[in-house]
Amino acid sequence: MDYRNPHSVARMRAEFDRQGAMATMGITVADVAPGRVVLEMPFNPALSQHHGFIHAGVVTSGMDSACGFAALTMMDAESEVLTVEFKCSFMSPARGQSFRFVGEVIKSGRTLTFTEGRAIAIDGTKETTVATITATVMAVRGLKA
């Protein structure tokens, strides 16, 4: 892997902490490595849909953030990350005591980074993949005021 920024793991954690959406959903950083980010979230009935499963929008947000921040760990210090597109596939209802969102870089380029991710429901010792994502993210500059 092209690991261009030795401070990107610490930077990723700082940028993640600035997100209100992740804090609102109770999503936290579990692990960070160059090109890979793992996020976790406990079950919260306030984030459920009408059948009591975690809402697909919450699952998608967790996977998108894991992929985007995995991409950020591979970018130069001047770049910020924005999602260009993603496709999600849901395989199982999102039911469990907690959830893990894993994002991994497949190919990191100067402008575009290609990622894959998954959402895993955890119920005791049982883990079930509930969704997958492929996401393309873009390095952008000059976003901060």
Residue 98 is assigned to a structural domain of this protein: yes
Give the pLDDT confidence of 122-133 residue by residue, as tens digits.
Answer: 999 999 999 999
User: Comparing C-alpha atoms, which of 47, 8, 9 is closest to residue 27?
Assistant: 47
Domain range for 117: 8-140
Residue 46 is assigned to a structural domain of this protein: yes
Residue 29 is assigned to a structural domain of this protein: yes
Residue 2 is assigned to a structural domain of this protein: no
Residue 1 is assigned to a structural domain of this protein: no
Residue 25 is assigned to a structural domain of this protein: yes
- CATH number of the domain residue 50 falls in: 3.10.129.10
In contact, 5 and 75? CB cutoff 8 Å? yes
Torsions phi, psi for 51 (to 5 deg)? -95, 0
Question: Mean pLDDT score of the chain, rounded to an integer?
Answer: 91
**Total number of domains constituting the chain:** 1
Give the pLDDT confidence of 38-53 residue by residue, as tens digits.
Answer: 999 999 999 999 999 9
In contact, 37 and 31? CB cutoff 8 Å? yes
Residue 52 is assigned to a structural domain of this protein: yes
Phi-psi region of 52 (alpha: psi -120 to 50; beta: other; left: phi over 0): left
User: Comparing C-alpha atoms, which of 28, 18, 4, 11 is closest to residue 98?
Assistant: 28
Residue 21 is assigned to a structural domain of this protein: yes
DSSP secondary structure letter of residue 64 = H
